[in-house]
Amino acid sequence: MELREKIDRAVAAVLSRGALMRSGLSWRGIADRVSSGELIRLRNGWYVRGETWEAERPDVRHLMVMHAARSDRHGNGVFSHRSAATLHGLPVWSDWMRGERDRAVRDCLTAHLLAPIAASGSGGARSKLYRRPDGSADTVRIAGFTCTSADRTLADLAASEPFAVALSCADRLLRDEVAVGRLIDPRGVEAWRARLLALARSRAGARGVRALRALAALADPRAESPLESVSRLRSWQIGLEPELQVPVRSERGGTLYLDFLFRSVGFFGECDGKGKYFDDELRGQRTPDEVFEHERRRHNWVSGVTRMNGVRWGVREVVTVERFATHLREFGVPFPGRAVECFGPEIARFLREAR
């Protein structure tokens, strides 16, 4: 679903107290429906029907909250952090990347906004305010919302989110900027890295600067999903240096691309997200069983052509570095068990601590 469609759905779902009262509800009637769950209160005076809320994904729910916040502030607000990331289309709503369960359901009710440094208060139960002296600077307009720029949003995420989330977002931003299909502009990659390092220097001493420098070094536009991004992080953390999107001759004469090749240990790796089997858009006309059979044949073909064993994993195996290490160990994949040094000692130290 495109961002514009998500925003349209979110805006259409939000109901003001005035609209509810014009439909015949009293103050008490609204309160009773909130208590029963028939209505969800997004913030004072703004609601959504419970069944609509339950049917939507966390990013669309959060857009509802942002629309209510924008309406409540008469459009005067700069969205930041996870709210800005939602507008930039970044993957910040996967609980598994934070090693948590069901937190997104709660977190999507909180709008993240910049506030002038002199502002008082926390923003209330449904808003989180970040006080910055430059709170009005480095902003963009997206579909009628004002939010922090992509670079600044990434810097804020580096300071506020687990590194797995920030790296997934960095990969997405870099891919959108420098890649067309499998074609990548290397000069664009270097310019992007230099820009992030300059931003890190400008924020010297601030929280998240080490993570921002690490993002400048580690982001890769070849990652095609958050699962690939986090899998790459876990690989580095246990001492493997994966090659990405490695071409292999296909059974029918075309080209297959391996998610990961661990050449030094003679294994290849493939990410196996649930969407491949259960997302209608990704699956097309095939049944889950047909997709599974296709993946099995592909795996066997690659093993035969490369003369290497392969290992597959999904979300559950990369939630922590310990789980990933255990999974590879069970398949006989050898690895050093300590963070790679190929990016230098500073990044190696960071990788040892990152989650």
217 shares its domain with 232: no
Are 45 and 72 within 8 A, CB to CB? yes
Share of the chain above pLDDT 70, in %: 88
245 shares its domain with 321: yes
Looking at the domain assignment, is residue 17 inside a domain?
no
**One-letter amino acid identity for 51?**
E
Query: What is residue 145's three-state secondary structure?
Result: strand
Is 191's pLDDT higher than 90? yes
- Among 221, 254, 277, where does a domain finish? 221
Is 247's pLDDT higher than 90? yes
What pLDDT, in 10s, does the model give residues 135-182? 446 899 999 999 999 999 999 999 999 999 999 999 999 999 999 999
Range of the domain at 208: 153-221
pLDDT band at 323 (very low <50, low <70, confident <90, very high): very high
Q: What was the pLDDT predicted at 299? A: 87
Are 80 and 66 within 8 A, CB to CB? no
Query: What are residue 140's DSSP bridge partners?
Result: 147
Q: What was the pLDDT predicted at 103? A: 64
Q: What was the pLDDT predicted at 119? A: 45
Query: What is residue 183's three-state secondary structure?
Result: strand
> Do strands 139-142 and 46-49 pair parallel, antiparallel, or not at all (unpaired)?
unpaired
Looking at the domain assignment, is residue 46 inside a domain?
no
244 shares its domain with 319: yes
241 shares its domain with 331: yes
- Among 221, 238, 261, where does a domain finish? 221
**Cα dihedral 147, 150, 151, 153 sign:** positive
pLDDT band at 79 (very low <50, low <70, confident <90, very high): very high
Beta-carbon contacts of 249 under 8 Å, excluding residues fewer than 6 positions away, are 255, 256, 305
Region 14-41: mean pLDDT is 96
**One-letter amino acid identity for 85?**
A
Is 63's pLDDT higher than 60? yes
168 shares its domain with 211: yes
Q: What is the CATH number of the domain that holds 330?
A: 3.40.960
Looking at the domain assignment, is residue 118 inside a domain?
no
259 shares its domain with 341: yes
**DSSP assignment of 248-304, as one string?**
EE-TTSSEEEEEEEEGGGTEEEEE--THHHH-HHHHTT--HHHHHHHHHHHHHHHHH
Nearest to 149 by CA among 157, 135, 138: 138
Burial (Cβ within 10 Å: 0-12, 13-18, ≥19) of residue 227 = buried
Structure tokens at 120: 């008082």
Which residue is it, tokens 């993957």? 91
- Helices 150-160, 209-218: axis angle to 10 degrees equals 120
Is 276's pLDDT higher than 80? no
Q: What was the pLDDT predicted at 226? A: 95
Cβ burial 183-219 (10 Å sphere, 16+ → b, else e): ebeeeebeebbeebeebbeebeeeebbbbbbbbbebb
CB atoms within 10 A of CB 269: 23
Region 333-344: mean pLDDT is 96
